[in-house]
Amino acid sequence: MRLTGAEIIVQCLLEQGVKTVFGYPGGAVLNIYDEIYKCKDLQHVLGRHEQGLLHAADGYARVTGEVGVALVTSGPGATNAVTGLATAYMDSIPMVCITGQVPVALIGNDAFQEADTVGITRSCTKHNYLVKDVKDLARVLREAFYIARTGRPGPVLVDIPKDITIAATEYSPAKGEVSIRSYKPSISGHTGQIRKAAGLMAKAKRPLFYTGGGVILSNAAEELTQLVRKLGAPITNTLMGLGGFPCTDKQFVGMLGMHGTYEANMAVSRCDLLVAIGARFDDRVTGKISQFAPEAKIIHLDVDPTSISKNVEVDVPIVGDIKTVLGKMLAMMEDGKYQSELPDLGDWWAEIEQWRRKECLKFTQGDEVIEAQYVIQKLYELTKGNAIVATDVGQHQMWAAQFYGFEKPRRWLTSGGLGTMGYGLPAAIGAQMAFPHETVVLITGESSIQMNIQELATLKQYNLPVKIAILNNSFLGMVRQWQELFYERRYSESDMTVHPDFVQLAQAYGATGMMTARPAEVSGIIEKALAIDGPVLMDFRVNREANVYPMVPAGAALNEMILL
């Protein structure tokens, strides 16, 4: 059948199983929007800023495991989307972003609302396309979805000139799986290397699993949990890996890295085998690289071959899909050969229990001033640990990671790689759109939320019952903490005392607003918020100069933590 470019775009989205598109219209994409208007099978979510709607598509992708889809116009629409693309790229989130472009004949002529979108986004997308012939459009869109969701996931951008959306060509529904000659992700893993890794795991006396977001992206949490329990070894998650293993399990030793637990960081420093799975040895995790896991042989399993030995040399590299490879490891363990060789880890666990007795996350909640950690503890208790939790970036993000336990994957939305303030509110919107009957909580700071606060209007437009908890210390909290510890308390431009009345602001956007500075009122406010069928903003005035501990100073080794 013969279709216009705009009709082909809508047909391809439906073909890929897309149900929800996060977008913002403009001149270059009006033909696409006209087709969306006619289509009853696509839900369009109108954001208030392109950065926000990219984060919303990102949040939707993280909780569903599906490809998030965003649609923006040319020029400033595309450039506003760059932060959202970079955020998704750093955290390997599958996304397809369609951008409008000026007509083909005007490209390079400084036309109105023109930008070199492909050039600008080359370094923050997994791949990008500029479509100059409508005959290529369907193929490009199908490839975009395939690339976004396979191998190491990531955002793919498709830039479509306005005249391509008007032009017509023959269109046929997709036939079979996409095949791209130059793109063949390795899935199965090398059997010899997997066997070698299984042998090391079965013999190690001080093994430790170090797992990241790749476990969640590949839906491998169940296989990971089975393997770790079978070996009886301790496990730590990165910030991105939270939920990949149940946090209440006795084998979980907490998050590692700059604000990781004492026991997790000490275990990394003492283990004789480190099994890194779906983690990329980020500098916030490794600390001083020369002293990272100094006594350990290292196994690294990752779908991305470029991540292997990029930051830390490894002994056994395995390139493959984590779910597939862990399944093979489990099968090897179940044949009995390795199981019979497993050593007694009693001495290793005794050492870990000694570190646990430090109680590195302890804090005291008094009667006068609210501690941020206390608010998060109450959120955990009153949501029974079942909420989908989004955060922005800063102290509140680290406290949320430390104090809101995660039992399951795809419940934790945070910008780990890029560290994007303003991520949380739109990401929570994306999660709530995906799961309208789940409890979605945003934990944020008074500074972070102002980066994309206009999305409160999106909350109201779709009556999304997101519960927002602002941990308001009137500071750029993490900046202030670094200035206190490393700049002799010279608080240069980190004081944020002047901020809106958040209660009135919430009401102006049609949401419910509540505020307290009293510890005794924290639980009551959260209970009231959870009972309201609609968006609620809670402004908790917390201890202004509380710090996040433990903390590994920049450039220090993991065992050189600052404790409270």
Instruction: Name the helix (H) or strand (E) containing 3.
Output: strand 2-4
% of the chain at pLDDT higher than 70: 100
pLDDT of amino acid 339:
73
Nearest to 69 by CA among 83, 48, 84: 84
Give dist(CA 60, CA 191) in Å, integer. Answer: 35
pLDDT of amino acid 276:
98
Q: State yes or no: pLDDT of 338 exceeds 90.
A: no
Given its phi and psi angles, is residue 385 left (phi above 0), alpha (psi -120 to 50 degrees) or beta?
A: left
Nearest to 71 by CA among 109, 106, 101: 101
Q: State yes or no: pLDDT of 380 exceeds 90.
A: yes
Give dist(CA 214, CA 22) in Å, integer. Answer: 25
Q: State yes or no: pLDDT of 176 exceeds 90.
A: no
353 in Cβ contact with 213 (< 8 Å)? no
**Residue 334 pLDDT grade (very low, low, confident, very high; cuts 50, 70, 90):** confident
Phi, psi (rounded to 5 degrees) for 403:
-115, -10
Tell me the pLDDT of the chain averaged across its residues. Answer: 97
Give dist(CA 441, CA 388) in Å, integer. Answer: 6
pLDDT in tens, 209-225: 999 999 999 999 999 99
**Residue 556 pLDDT grade (very low, low, confident, very high; cuts 50, 70, 90):** very high
Instruction: Name the helix (H) or strand (E) containing 382.
Output: helix 372-382
Q: State yes or no: pLDDT of 157 exceeds 90.
A: yes
Q: State yes or no: pLDDT of 341 exceeds 80.
A: no
Nearest to 378 by CA among 403, 410, 406: 403
pLDDT in tens, 494-534: 999 999 999 999 999 999 999 999 999 999 999 999 999 99
pLDDT in tens, 166-175: 999 999 999 8
**Residue 336 pLDDT grade (very low, low, confident, very high; cuts 50, 70, 90):** confident
CA distances from 538 to 50, 476, 521 (A): 26, 19, 11
Neighbour-count burial for 262-301, b at 16+ CB within 10 Å, e otherwise: bbbbbbbbbbbbbbbbbbbbbebbbbbeeebbeebbbbbb
Q: Which residue has the tokens 């590692």?
A: 256
Q: State yes or no: pLDDT of 194 exceeds 90.
A: yes
Of the residues 112, 184, 334, 359, which is catalytic?
Answer: 112
pLDDT of amino acid 363:
96
All structural domains of the chain? 2-170 (3.40.50.970), 191-357 (3.40.50.1220), 372-541 (3.40.50.970)
Of the residues 7, 16, 22, 50, which is catalytic?
Answer: 50
Q: DSSP character for 370? A: B
Of the residues 126, 162, 328, 467, which is catalytic?
Answer: 162
% of the chain at pLDDT higher than 90: 97
Catalytic residue flag (residue 112): yes
**pTM given for the model:** 0.97
Nearest to 276 by CA among 226, 332, 317, 246: 317
Exposed, middle or buried, 497 (CB in 10 Å: 0-12/13-18/19+)? exposed
Catalytic residue flag (residue 50): yes
Of the residues 398, 478, 514, 538, which is catalytic?
Answer: 478
Nearest to 537 by CA among 425, 437, 434, 458: 425
Residues 6+ apart with CB under 8 A from 502: 446, 470, 472, 513, 515, 537, 539
pLDDT of amino acid 177:
87
Q: Which residue has the tokens 């984590």?
A: 322
pLDDT in tens, 455-497: 999 999 999 999 999 999 999 999 999 999 999 999 999 999 9
CB atoms within 10 A of CB 158: 25
Q: State yes or no: pLDDT of 335 exceeds 90.
A: no
Of the residues 15, 19, 43, 113, which is catalytic?
Answer: 113
**Residue 111 pLDDT grade (very low, low, confident, very high; cuts 50, 70, 90):** very high
pLDDT of amino acid 22:
98
Give dist(CA 448, CA 84) in Å, integer. Answer: 15
Q: DSSP character for 410? A: S
